[in-house]
Structure 1
Amino acid sequence: MSRKKILVTGGAGFIGGNFVQYMVDKYPQYDIYNMDLLTYAGDLTKHKYIETKDNYFFIKADIADRETILELFKKEQFDYVVHFAAESHVDRSITDPGIFVQTNVLGTQVLLDSSRAVEVTKFVHVSTDEVYGELDFDPDTFFTEETPLQPNSPYSASKASSDLLVRAYHETYGLPVNITRCSNNYGPYHFPEKLIPLTISRVLNDQKVPVYGDGKNIRDWLHVIDHCAAIDLVLHEGVNGEVYNVGGHNEKTNLEVVKTIIKTLDKSKELIEFVKDRLGHDKRYAIDPTKLEGLGWQPTYTFETGIAQTIQWYLDNKEWWEQIISGDYQNYFEKQYSINK
């Protein structure tokens, strides 16, 4: 029997990178293909320890390059696609919306067309709770899979658009798909521009930590390994055409998150610096993951255990995030893969 081939797009990013490692380790009987364009947030240094494994392969490609992607799908005949690749930083989408439409919408369409061409067994589209817009501060209100899509940033609008394309390809062409929508992720290998790693790195260097507005915006925090387990379950057990929300049951204000990190690292709250609020800054996200729990998933990390583990990881892996901040990580591909160019 031939080995199953799983294509993971965006596998040099934060969540996709953790998922690649999770799958390579858990399923030696699968061949895991990591495809990434290696934009500013694409980091291959995190995969050094799996590069020598027989079931791991890396492909540098742009998901919006229709000719290249279609040719690749026909050559490799992938069985499964797990689609993470996306421009994902809200602030950057406010500055330059165009690249978000190019990658997140048109790139997703290219992948869907290519998946149809080779009749993949399952296409899992990894989305975000931000497509639902925002909630008020009522602790009894949550996003469900039936919540209308009301994106408030160019980033979330581009993700909502790609979600609708995925749904349409299932309804129109019968493509076997699932969509997952997760809350805010955190954990190892989180790119240093995001709230938690940014706070950790700046606090360790006794630098001011910028907090938008009054810091009272609420997010539901999900450890990235819990998210990987959820996607793995949906890939294998998800009902075709269904959406599954993935939430961590860990609602915290941004200010609470920052203060927790400062306290854990035994630093001064004087490092907190409130800055002008982000344009269109959503008040609160909170997910009801009951539907996914019905498949057998439960988060294993509380925020307290997860943030402690994450902080310790950043303390133990300073070399990784320091070379990210310095930009040295961007030279890794050229050094490691120059023979394949």
Structure 2
Amino acid sequence: MVAESAFGEGERGITTDFWRGHRVFVTGATGIVGSWLVKALLAQGASVVALVRDADPQSELYRSGDIHRVSVVSGALEDFWTLERAINEYETDTVFHLAAQPLVGMAQRFPLSTFESNIRGTYHLLEACRLHRDRVQRVVIASSDKAYGEQPTLPYTEGMPLQGRGPYEVSKSCADLIAQAYHHTYGLPVAIARCGNVYGGGDLNWSRLVPETIRAFLRRQPPVIRSDGTYVRDYIYVKDAVRAYMYLAECLEDERVRGQAFNFSLESPMTVLDMVRVIQRLMGCEDIQPIIQNQAKGEIRNQYLSAARARTLLGWRPRYSLEEGLQETIRWYREFLGDGTA
């Protein structure tokens, strides 16, 4: 599918030469989205600098060998001078800020580390960009549907207030608002991406629904659902999320995009149990029934997004249906896990 964008061109990002020669700094490069973003940027001829806190040989960034094709800056978001050095010494013109503590459960257990990485890390990164405003031309910040908190009506739209209440949601609300402040106060060329639940190969956080379910079925074991199975979520395939980030960066020369947030979604919300059933069918495991624990705490029951603004202003649309994305994801985990015993 090729979308016509609001700029009178065809699809952007993955299909153009825009990125050739650009110097791009990616935080969170070992995460699920970061690994695939680095891969796409390298394929487009960009020079990539990756912030890596912990070397993880199982990360897609390492397994693919892409780690040997990027410049690596070792350090954490909490260290301002590491970020400043990465932007200054490598003469970065584009920044993708994906690094964060991404787990709701961990934020519940120990909020301090989540606030440090997700809030302090974001303003450190934005301040380093502000200091080198003559060099940095575009900044894309990864927010989340969690930034909206609980709302009286759904789907989430970009005009809704950001009102997270739990530690993780608050961290995303704060980071999102800080990014907006750096644009409106200092003119920093920032755009914000709010995605639903990103899934795909390379996600090694086994507490998440999709990788845990696939691994369980590969082992011929019942997957465990922490909630009652009726929580509603949005899901977006990682390659569509990568295209969304690249779209935003390319479009930041347009005044209608700067300082704005955009939702990216398949716009097909479904319950947790329905997602498990789709994976179950695709893997031929209808005889294995999930275990429903009904023990979820501190999570919003229903969350899903409208992507109307991204469709109309950016010309963005997902390339992958849910089943297409899941089929690729299942293949990745089959290769990664082998017989499922890993």
For the superposition of Structure 1 and Structure 2, which TM-score range results when normalised by the shorter chain?
0.7 to 0.9
Amino acid at match of 2:179: V
Alpha-carbon distance in structure 2 between the residues aligned to 1:172 and 1:121: 16
Query: Where do 5+ consecutive residues of structure 2 fail to align?
Result: 1-19
Which among 97, 107, 120 is matched to residue 93 of structure 1? Answer: 107
> What's 1:274 paired with?
292
Which among 50, 61, 65 is matched to residue 34 of structure 1? Answer: 50
Judge conservation of contact 2:219–2:339 (CA < 8 Å) in 1: no
1:79 equivalent to 2:93? Answer yes
Offset of residue 135 of structure 1: 5.3
Offset of residue 4 of structure 1: 2.2
Alpha-carbon distance in structure 2 between the residues aligned to 1:107 and 1:41: 24
> What's 1:142 paired with?
155
Judge conservation of contact 2:49–2:90 (CA < 8 Å) in 1: no
> What's 1:312 paired with?
331
Provide the aligned C-alpha RMSD in A.
2.3
> What's 2:277 paired with?
259
Alpha-carbon distance in structure 2 between the residues aligned to 1:61 and 1:243: 28
1:185 and 1:241, CA in 2 relative to 1: closer, same or farther beyond 3 A? same
Q: Per-residue displacement from partner, 1:280-320 (whole Å, max 9, x unpaired)?
A: 22121111111111211110111122212221222233259
Amino acid at match of 2:321: T
After superposing the two structures, state which structure 1 stretch, 190-199 or 70-79, moved more: 70-79
Offset of residue 151 of structure 1: 1.4
Judge conservation of contact 2:219–2:340 (CA < 8 Å) in 1: no
> What's 1:67 paired with?
81
Offset of residue 195 of structure 1: 0.6
Alpha-carbon distance in structure 2 between the residues aligned to 1:252 and 1:245: 17
Judge conservation of contact 2:221–2:288 (CA < 8 Å) in 1: no
* Aligned pairs, number: 315
1:39 and 1:156, CA in 2 relative to 1: closer, same or farther beyond 3 A? farther
Which among 19, 42, 59 is matched to residue 43 of structure 1? Answer: 59
1:158 equivalent to 2:171? Answer yes
1:188 equivalent to 2:201? Answer yes
TM-score (norm 1): 0.86
Judge conservation of contact 1:7–1:33 (CA < 8 Å) in 2: yes
Which among 34, 39, 61 is matched to residue 16 of structure 1? Answer: 34
Secondary structure in structure 1 of the residue aligned to 2:73? strand
Q: Per-residue displacement from partner, 1:229-269 (whole Å, max 9, x unpaired)?
A: 11111001142111111111221110011122222222255
Judge conservation of contact 1:21–1:47 (CA < 8 Å) in 2: no
More helix by share: 1
After superposing the two structures, state which structure 1 stretch, 222-231 or 275-284, moved more: 275-284
> What's 2:15 paired with?
none
1:208 and 1:49, CA in 2 relative to 1: closer, same or farther beyond 3 A? same
> What's 2:243 paired with?
229
Alpha-carbon distance in structure 2 between the residues aligned to 1:322 and 1:235: 40
Alpha-carbon distance in structure 2 between the residues aligned to 1:218 and 1:162: 24
Judge conservation of contact 2:29–2:61 (CA < 8 Å) in 1: no
1:125 equivalent to 2:141? Answer yes
Secondary structure in structure 1 of the residue aligned to 2:317? coil
Secondary structure in structure 2 of the residue aligned to 1:33? strand
Alpha-carbon distance in structure 1 between the residues aligned to 2:245 and 2:310: 10
1:41 and 1:195, CA in 2 relative to 1: closer, same or farther beyond 3 A? farther
Alpha-carbon distance in structure 1 between the residues aligned to 2:150 and 2:143: 16
1:75 and 1:186, CA in 2 relative to 1: closer, same or farther beyond 3 A? same
Offset of residue 70 of structure 1: 1.9
Alpha-carbon distance in structure 2 between the residues aligned to 1:134 and 1:264: 32
Judge conservation of contact 2:232–2:272 (CA < 8 Å) in 1: yes
> What's 1:331 paired with?
none
> What's 2:259 paired with?
241
Alpha-carbon distance in structure 1 between the residues aligned to 2:321 and 2:261: 24
Offset of residue 271 of structure 1: 3.7
Offset of residue 31 of structure 1: 0.6
Query: Where do 5+ consecutive residues of structure 1 fail to align?
Result: 324-341
Alpha-carbon distance in structure 1 between the residues aligned to 2:339 and 2:182: 39
1:12 and 1:108, CA in 2 relative to 1: closer, same or farther beyond 3 A? same
1:58 equivalent to 2:72? Answer yes
Q: Per-residue displacement from partner, 1:201-233 (whole Å, max 9, x unpaired)?
A: 012112332112320111111111111111111
Alpha-carbon distance in structure 1 between the residues aligned to 2:339 and 2:138: 34
Which among 189, 210, 215 is matched to residue 224 of structure 2? Answer: 210
1:322 and 1:110, CA in 2 relative to 1: closer, same or farther beyond 3 A? farther
Offset of residue 43 of structure 1: 2.5
TM-score (norm 2): 0.86
